[in-house]
Amino acid sequence: MKVDLLTAEIGSTTTIVTAFDKIDSKKPLILAQGEYYTTINEGDITIGIEKALKIIENKLGEKVSWNKFLATSSAAGGLKMTVHGLVYDMTVKASREAALGAGGVIKYVTAGKMRKSHIKKILEIKPNLIFLAGGVDYGEEETVLHNAELLKDLPIKVPIIYAGNIAVVDEIKEILSNKKLYITENVYPKVDQLNVEPARKVIQEVFSEHIIHAPGMEKIEEYVDEKIIPTPAAVMRTTQLLSEMYEHVLTVDIGGATTDVDSVTEGDPEIQSIMISPEPIAKRTVEGDMGVFVNAHTVIELIGEKILRGKFSSFDELVKEISPYPKKEENEKFMSELAEYCFIEGIRRHAGKKKHIYTPLGRKTIAQGKDLTAIKYIFGTGGVLTRSRFNQKILTSIHGQHRKHPDELLPKNIKKVGYDKNYIFAPIGVISTIDKEIAMNILKEDLEFFE
């Protein structure tokens, strides 16, 4: 049979292929899904895709062909980036927001004039991309020009994105003429103004070029009809679609290695009036120490082994049997305990805080970081939040957290909690890049809410 669309989400642990049909209708069909271990270590990512496709064909009972094939990926280590700006709380912060929102993996950050020690660190990291910014438009110029001069002599081939002071674009082009240079709009064009979306788009373009040539990924071009985008960026796109449907939304994606949190909200006007620095409306954070497979042992340490032993009599056996595919209910329950910690802690780390400072006029309350107090809808995606029999318990554990942590800017008036029923938030995000209406229709069919 010929289907309208196949999508592949190529993760660090698993590859998931989904078959869609009747995508031009108001009720698109999700025909079947196949899942197999990601085969990047075998030197060929398409082995895992073929195995997942075979599972789909077995489910449908016939050979499958397709009109279009789209893919997202977080395999091959993602897109390792270093970020270099002027003032940490201004241009560096804006650069980080752009990088994280685009699915970049930030390995190193510097603020102010770079030194030889910084260059040494970059060489150790061997990034796939360097992000250079600094200065508001027509403002400070010296620092970013100094940093460009240092980066010019890097003895590695690495593309550089410049998203700084527009006044020195010509000089930057001249200094970095020996590098593959991408120029985009300033991420911090005016004081207290973020402009991260143009930079995010360029980062995704660079990702597409990098991922095609990453070890094990070379053959992916045989399949895909459009550019591959980072899985985290695709989930962010889906969260932005959700914000158009519901407003003030938050998505948590718990994977084997990381917990990603995406929010789209302007926050509460009362909190905004005491904010000391701007935050993007669409924000992503990634917690690289919290996952339920690759980083399960780290999460166990964060929770505390003694606490978990008190809840699970067979703790030692359960630790040995940690897997992306838990076999028994007790294994799944143990994984859900880890996931609940990742879920709550991921949101807490994403959220900003109220702080109390003392001034000559007395105590004053300020707010810093992302304001989640206006969030009304929370969604879960990732294997454990879509497929675990305990996903409702995990997702509803956020209720009441704002009372436990009154100075944290956590959601406090949640209307509904739902999840990605078919585990397709990433495919929906990549579909939205070619047809937003189709993506919206698939999203409506996919959502499941808990009453």
Contact 184, 162 (CB under 8 A): yes
Cα separation, 1 vs 356, whole angstroms: 64
162 residue type, one letter = Y
Spatial neighbors of 370 by CB under 8 A, at least 6 apart, are: 263, 267, 279, 283, 350, 351, 352, 409
How many other CB atoms sit within 10 Å of the CB of residue 226?
14
In terms of Cα–Cα distance, which of 273, 259, 268 is closest to 411?
268
* pLDDT of the residue at 156: 92
In terms of Cα–Cα distance, which of 423, 421, 419, 420 is closest to 393?
419
Contact 352, 374 (CB under 8 A): no
Torsion sign, CA atoms 307, 310, 312, 315: positive
Place of tokens 């082009």: 173
12 residue type, one letter = S
Burial code of 321-330, b = ≥16 C-beta within 10 A, e = fewer? ebebebeeee
Q: In the chain, what percentage of residues exceed pLDDT 90?
A: 78
Place of tokens 């318990």: 393
> Of the ranges 5-14, 258-267, 329-338, 430-439, which one carries the lowest mean pLDDT score?
5-14
Contact 7, 17 (CB under 8 A): yes
* pLDDT of the residue at 271: 96
- pLDDT, one tens digit per residue, over 350-401 is 999 999 988 888 889 999 999 999 999 999 999 899 999 999 999 999 999 9
> Of the ranges 76-85, 191-200, 235-244, 350-359, which one carries the lowest mean pLDDT score?
76-85
Cα separation, 325 vs 388, whole angstroms: 10
Q: What is the pTM (predicted TM-score) of this model?
A: 0.87
Cα separation, 85 vs 91, whole angstroms: 5
Contact 30, 439 (CB under 8 A): no
Region 409-413: mean pLDDT is 96
- Given a cut of 90, whether residue 149 has pLDDT beyond it is yes
**Token code pair at residue 442:** 């698939």
- Given a cut of 90, whether residue 213 has pLDDT beyond it is no
CA distances from 406 to 348, 351, 358, 400, 403 (A): 12, 12, 19, 10, 5
- Given a cut of 70, whether residue 9 has pLDDT beyond it is yes
* pLDDT of the residue at 343: 98
Please write down the HEC assignment for all residues of the chain.
CEEEEEEEEECCCEEEEEEEECCCCCCCEEEEEEEEECCHHHCCCHHHHHHHHHHHHHHHCCCCEEEEEEEEECCCCCEEEEEEECCHHHHHHHHHHHHHHCCEEEEEEEECCCCHHHHHHHHHHCCCEEEECCCCCCCCCHHHHHHHHHHHCCCCCCCEEECCCHHHHHHHHHHCCCCCEEECCCCCCECCECCCHHHHHHHHHHHHHHHHCCCCCHHHHHCCCCCCEEHHHHHHHHHHHHHHHHCCEEEEEECCCCEEEEEECCCCHHHHCCECCCCCCEEEEEECCCCCCCCHHHHHHHHCHHHHHHHCCCHHHHHHCCCCCCCCHHHHHHHHHHHHHHHHHHHHHHECEEEEEEECCEEEEEEECECCCCCCEEEEECHHHHHCCCHHHHHHHHCCHHHHCCCECCCCCCCEEEEECCCCHHHHHHHHCCCHHHHHHHHHHHEEEEC
- Given a cut of 70, whether residue 77 has pLDDT beyond it is no
* pLDDT of the residue at 164: 96
- pLDDT, one tens digit per residue, over 101-145 is 888 889 999 999 999 999 999 999 999 899 999 999 999 999 999
Select the more confidently predicted residue: 110 or 256: 110
**Token code pair at residue 397:** 């554990």
Give Cα 429 to chain centroid, integer Å.
12
Structural domains in the chain plus CATH codes? 1-76+215-227+424-451 (3.30.420.40), 79-212 (3.40.50.280), 232-420 (3.30.420)
* pLDDT of the residue at 78: 67
Q: Read off the pLDDT band of 268 (50, 70, 90).
A: very high
Cα separation, 248 vs 17, whole angstroms: 30
Edge-to-edge strand list for the sheet holding 29-37? 29-37, 14-21, 2-10, 65-73, 229-230
Cα separation, 56 vs 21, whole angstroms: 13
- Given a cut of 70, whether residue 76 has pLDDT beyond it is no
